[in-house]
Homo-oligomer: A and B are copies of this chain.
């Protein structure tokens, strides 16, 4: 077995999920994530945790959902009972075809998802972590050769997380202490309020309330956004290619939008509900192990020299206790490259210019 698979398992079990002896662990295994699952099982055995592996296959779910009449009013009591007794949930994504469920009607998916709300909530109550095993299917989506993609993925995953967590802690402190963010870049001059909000140091560990591996971003929940922004990182949203989306905000709400490509899907997102016209997230990518866009949000939004904003739902963790998140059915991330001609200011002080943070060598305040 490739030593990097074992190292991935080490990071996942020890740094990310903090597995201890006696923990009841559910390991969700994608059809092509077998090798990582074996490495994780080995580590779980060493730790003396209990292991139940589940099988997560888009093809299985597709077959089930297409045959189902779409009424999901008998809740899955057995799965609910499982997750109510689960301490740690580790999801090892790794399918053979990211489009495996492309022909399942949207309303069936929605009904299935709604019927599983209690299961999902129980699962989110565990020390859960999502990661992916680099597969040929993901390599294909990224437009990369398989071995090339594996190197890319392990560069992102096998970080010195402790050091990165410390650096990200600086960014969190700046955001927590700040009131106003100004983001300036090509086609972008945006002001956002963040006072009263708490940033999350997303260091790929449940100890930091961070549940993705890789991670490496600091994010908060902005409000009262004003100005214009251009998202110059190409991506795919709901199966549509989008490019150079431009949004204009007044008093926190999108008042105008267009795009060089994919304007229709942005319109569709904005029209979902009231919350979809507001920002739920301002995120600063700080994982320098990620050196290119692969059209996979799990990686893209963590990339160093990027900033992202999300339309829709905010994370509760960012909000004061007495405030609940913007209600929205969507959370759609959009990315800016900030490596050149860009600056991020907090309360008038430049924190990041052309990708460099003010505590880094080469920062030109």
Tell me the A residues contacting B by CB distance below 8 Å. 21-22, 24, 26-27, 29, 31, 34, 37-39, 41-46, 48, 50-57, 59-61, 63-69, 71, 74-87
Is the Cβ of A60 less than 8 Å from the Cβ of B37? yes
Is the Cβ of A37 less than 8 Å from the Cβ of B55? yes
Question: Which B residues are in CB contact (< 8 Å) with A78?
Answer: 24, 26, 50, 52, 82-83, 85-87
Chain B nearest CB from A198 CB (Å) reads 32
Closest chain B residue to A22, Cβ basis: B74
Closest chain B residue to A89, Cβ basis: B78
**A45-B68, A50-B75, A78-B85 given; 7 more Cβ-contact pairs under 8 Å:** A26-B78, A34-B57, A38-B60, A41-B64, A42-B64, A44-B67, A50-B76
Q: Which 9 A-B pairs have the closest CB atoms?
A: A45-B67, A50-B76, A24-B78, A45-B68, A78-B85, A45-B64, A42-B63, A22-B74, A82-B82
A196 to B233, CA, bound (A): 79
Question: Which B residues are in CB contact (< 8 Å) with A24?
Answer: 76-79
Is the Cβ of B68 less than 8 Å from the Cβ of A50? no
A56 to B34, CA, bound (A): 11
Interface pairs (27), CB distance under 8 Å: A22-B74, A24-B77, A26-B78, A31-B34, A34-B60, A37-B60, A38-B60, A39-B63, A42-B63, A42-B64, A42-B67, A43-B67, A45-B64, A46-B68, A48-B69, A50-B78, A50-B79, A51-B64, A52-B54, A52-B78, A52-B79, A53-B56, A78-B82, A78-B83, A78-B86, A79-B82, A80-B85
State the copy count for this chain: 2
A46 to B63, CA, bound (A): 10
Closest chain B residue to A42, Cβ basis: B63
Is the Cβ of B64 less than 8 Å from the Cβ of A44? yes
A77 to B51, CA, bound (A): 11
A52 to B51, CA, bound (A): 16
Is the Cβ of B59 less than 8 Å from the Cβ of A34? yes
Question: Which B residues are in CB contact (< 8 Å) with A48?
Answer: 68-69, 71, 74
Chain B nearest CB from A233 CB (Å) reads 35
Closest chain B residue to A87, Cβ basis: B78
Of A55, A66, A78, most B-chain CB atoms within 10 Å: A78
Question: Which B residues are in CB contact (< 8 Å) with A55?
Answer: 27, 29, 37, 53-55
Question: Which B residues are in CB contact (< 8 Å) with A66?
Answer: 42, 45
A57-B52 in contact given A45-B68, A64-B42, A68-B46 (Cβ < 8 Å) = no
A23 to B26, CA, bound (A): 22
Question: Which B residues are in CB contact (< 8 Å) with A41?
Answer: 60-61, 63-64, 67
Is the Cβ of B67 less than 8 Å from the Cβ of A46? yes
Chain B nearest CB from A68 CB (Å) reads 4
Chain B nearest CB from A254 CB (Å) reads 39
Chain B nearest CB from A357 CB (Å) reads 40
A86 to B78, CA, bound (A): 5
A192 to B80, CA, bound (A): 50
Chain B nearest CB from A115 CB (Å) reads 9
A46 to B65, CA, bound (A): 9
Is the Cβ of A45 less than 8 Å from the Cβ of B63? yes
A54 to B38, CA, bound (A): 15
